[in-house]
Amino acid sequence: MQTIRGFRDILPETIGLWQKVEKEATQLFEAFGFSEIRIPILEKTELFARSIGEATDIVEKEMYTFEDRKGDKLTLRPEATASIVRSYVQHKMYASDPVRKFFMTGPMFRRERPQKGRYRQFYQIDAEVFGIDSPYIDSQLILILHELFKRLGLTGLSAHINSLGCPDCRPAYQKALLEFLESKKETLCENCLRRMDKNPLRILDCKVIECKGALMDAPSTLDHLCPACTDHFETVKRTLEIQGVDFMVDKTLVRGLDYYTRTAWEIQTTTLGAQSAVAGGGRYDKLVAELGGPPTPAIGFAIGFDRLVEVLEQIEAPKEKPLDLFIVSLGDTAVEKAYLWSCELNRNNVRTELDFRGKSMKALMKRADKLKASYVLIAGENELAQNTVLLRNMATTEQVSLKLDHLVLDLIRIIKK
């Protein structure tokens, strides 16, 4: 039996970096006032069709959708924002306090073409803020990402930012864009031609090389912003400059989902040599109302967890947690005592292992070396007859004799000093 194509196991040998990222992210989010939320993996298909957009590749081609026994259409979540908005509205969180900050970590599912760093079950770290329309929160989310990646050791960080405008100024831009696209029809792919009537802005996100070349001179959203959107974007840029966050205005940057408005961004790193995006986000001020809630400004980002770990593996190799103590037990009486000592030490957060297979002293010492144990406790029939055991420091090879009375307390004191 093998894993499904595009799915994979994350093995104990590599989980250390995943845990490190989760720990750093949780500490940083909580310091900035975020609370953790956990959302279902399955949602009604309608949620994603309404929020992401029915004309998107995600909804049209990539979602894992099926009918349950009652005929309801369900979908494995392809992203987290729609589900968190659904939760915010369903539980009327806005009634007690419309300003809420959430973060979550977990798997998403898209039936994309698997390739290095991209999987059909992939993981994201997601953060969302509701109830704040100030541009300062836009800057703060970009700052949080920049700070997290710095703490993780990434270098060459740069934020690519753009403004997508709002419903007031976007129609004028779409008109200018459509006029431009009409002159490029012969070079655009079928997907782009189909999108011209439904959502021409998404054409700018096409990954087909010929289309990207044809769109090099496309009009910019920045040339069509209303005064309010212009002021908003200028404040974001000014604040990032004051805080020392390296950024560049990228007029080609658009988001692939329908719900984004105003500020959009990606965080890129040159750690792997070429630029690589490891996170992206933006503002979506209309989505809460579209999903049945009151008009509520909102903004958020997602970190590609798989891609981030891949980048971090170039900086540092995954580290195994060292074993504190390995118990060499020789004889039936020694094995039982070793088992009881081991459990008591484990309960006191001392990482302890022993071997129940009746191996020889030589074989057990080899296993202790393989597990990189800091100490080895040797308990044989002769030692137990004298009410003692031997403790060997594997780094110095020094050995001390310990009495069985208060043995666990003595081991905790020595190993944790």
- CATH class in words for 323-412: alpha beta
Structure tokens at 345: 């030490």
In this prediction, residue 214 carries a pLDDT of 83
What is the biggest distance separating any 2 CA atoms in the chain, rounded to whole angstroms?
Answer: 94
Least confident of 232-241, 263-272, 403-412: 263-272
pLDDT mean over 300-327: 86
CB distance 110 to 58 below 8 Å = yes
Asked if 303 and 149 touch (Cβ cutoff 8 Å), the reply is no
Dihedral of CA atoms 20, 21, 26, 32 in degrees, nearest 10, equals 130
CB atoms within 10 A of CB 249: 14
Sheet holding 399-403, edge to edge: 352-354, 323-329, 373-379, 388-393, 399-403
Question: What's the CA gap between 267 and 275, in Å, rounded?
Answer: 10
Q: How far apart are the first and last CA of the chain?
A: 47
Please give the residue that has the higher pLDDT: either 300 or 48. 300
Q: For the chain, what is the mean pLDDT?
A: 89
- The confidence band for 86, taking pLDDT boundaries of 50, 70 and 90, is very high
Site of tokens 């957009």 = 53
Select the highest-mean-pLDDT range: 237-246, 250-259, 323-332: 237-246
pLDDT digits 0-9 by tens, 126-160: 999 999 999 999 999 999 999 999 999 888 888 99
Q: Note the pLDDT of residue 216.
A: 83
Residue 334: both structure tokens together: 């020694």
Percentage of residues in the chain with pLDDT exceeding 90? 60
Q: Which residues contact 398 (CB under 8 A, 6 or more apart)?
A: 392
Higher pLDDT, 374 or 332: 374
For residues 84 and 39, the answer to whether their CB atoms sit within 8 Å is yes
Instruction: Provide the token pair at 200.
Output: 């021409």
pLDDT at 205 over 80: no
Collect all residues with Cβ–Cβ distance below 8 Å to 411 and sequence separation of at least 6: 325, 341, 345, 350, 375, 377, 391, 402
What is the pLDDT, as a whole number, of residue 82? 93
Q: How far apart are CA 51 and CA 258, in angstroms?
A: 7
Q: Kindly tell me if the per-residue pLDDT of 55 is higher than 60.
A: no
Global pTM value: 0.86
Please indicate whether residue 321 or residue 341 has the higher confidence score (pLDDT): 341
Burial profile 200-221: b = 16 or more Cβ within 10 angstroms, e = fewer: bbbbbbbeeeebeebbeebbbb
How do residues 333-373 score in pLDDT, each as one tens digit? 888 999 999 999 999 999 999 988 888 889 999 999 998 99
Task: Look at residue 219 and give its three-state secondary structure.
Answer: coil
CATH, domain range 15-169+225-315: 3.30.930.10
Domain assignments of the chain as residue spans, ordered by start = 15-169+225-315, 323-412
| Mean pLDDT, residues 388-397 | 92
Contacts of 39 (CB under 8 A, 6+ apart): 77, 80, 83, 84, 87, 104, 106
> In this structure, what DSSP letter does residue 13 have?
T
Q: How far apart are CA 343 and CA 353, in angstroms?
A: 9
Residue with tokens 């298909």: 45
> d(Cα 14, Cα 344) in Å, to the nearest integer?
28
What is the CA angle 139-123-309, rounded to 5?
80
E strand or H helix that includes residue 353:
strand 352-354
Residue whose C-alpha is closest to residue 296's, from 283, 309, 306 = 283
Strand blocks (E) in 58-192: 65-67, 73-76, 100-109, 121-130, 158-163
CA–CA distance, 182 with 175 (Å, rounded to integer): 11
In whole angstroms, give the CA distance from residue 128 to residue 141: 9
> What's the rounded mean pLDDT across residues 40-45?
95
Q: Do 191 and 62 meet the contact criterion of CB atoms below 8 Å apart? A: no
Tens digits of per-residue pLDDT, 25-39?
Answer: 999 999 999 999 999
